[in-house]
Amino acid sequence: MPLGSSGTSRIDPRGPRFAASLTTVVLALALVTSSGALLAAQGVVFALGAVLGLRFSPYGFLFRRLVRPRLGPPTELEDERPPRFAQAVGLAFALVGTVGYLSGALWVGVAATALALAAAFLNAVFGYCLGCEVYLLAVRSRARLS
């Protein structure tokens, strides 16, 4: 039962790290300006990466066009599924936060944006994928409920 061997996309691990840095900046701006529109825009970026794949995310595009040509080739490639799953987790928070901001429930917007920001920041600075860590806990609790 080899895991992760079933013909999935393999990507340059520096791409998601770069994307997390941009995400951190955008979410920080959304938090400071209480902007539901900016959070919604970040939500669209999350959705593109989660649903279509990271290469269809605008940040992935910027990485390939602007950043990677300046770096050397990657020393190794990684499975696309963990960072893609993390984009889906980010999307869930962005949706909740956007609804909060736009409906006037400001603190819902702030809380959701703050949590998504913490996750993006941990990924950008420490290379730590919080969304991936949450996966097993989600599976465990789902199995307990069913």
Partner 1 sequence: MSELTGLLVLAVVLAAATAFGLVRAARDGRMRRAKPGAALRLTGADLGEPLGGQATLVQFSTDFCANCPGTRRLLGEVAADRPGVRLVEIDAEERLDLVRRADVMRTPTVLVLDRHGRVARRSAGAPSRSEVLAALELVSAS
Using CB under 8 A, list all residues that contact partner 1: 1-4, 28, 31-34, 78-79, 81-83, 85, 106, 110, 114, 117-118, 121-122, 125-126, 128-129, 131-133, 135-137, 139-140, 143
Shortest separation between residue 129's beta carbon and partner 1, angstroms:
5
35 versus 59: smaller Cβ distance to partner 1: 35
For the beta carbon of residue 2, count every other beta carbon within 10 angstroms: 5
10 versus 70: smaller Cβ distance to partner 1: 10
| Residue in the structure block whose two tokens are 């959701």 | 112
Q: Give strand pairing partners of 99.
A: none
Report long-range pairs for 108-113 (Cβ below 8 Å, ≥24 apart). Answer: 109/34, 109/36, 109/39, 110/31, 110/34, 113/27, 113/30, 113/31, 113/39
Shortest separation between residue 83's beta carbon and partner 1, angstroms:
7
Shortest separation between residue 34's beta carbon and partner 1, angstroms:
5
Shortest separation between residue 26's beta carbon and partner 1, angstroms:
13
45 versus 89: smaller Cβ distance to partner 1: 89
Q: Which two tokens stand for residue 83?
A: 């960072």
Chain centre to alpha carbon of residue 24: 10
70 versus 140: smaller Cβ distance to partner 1: 140
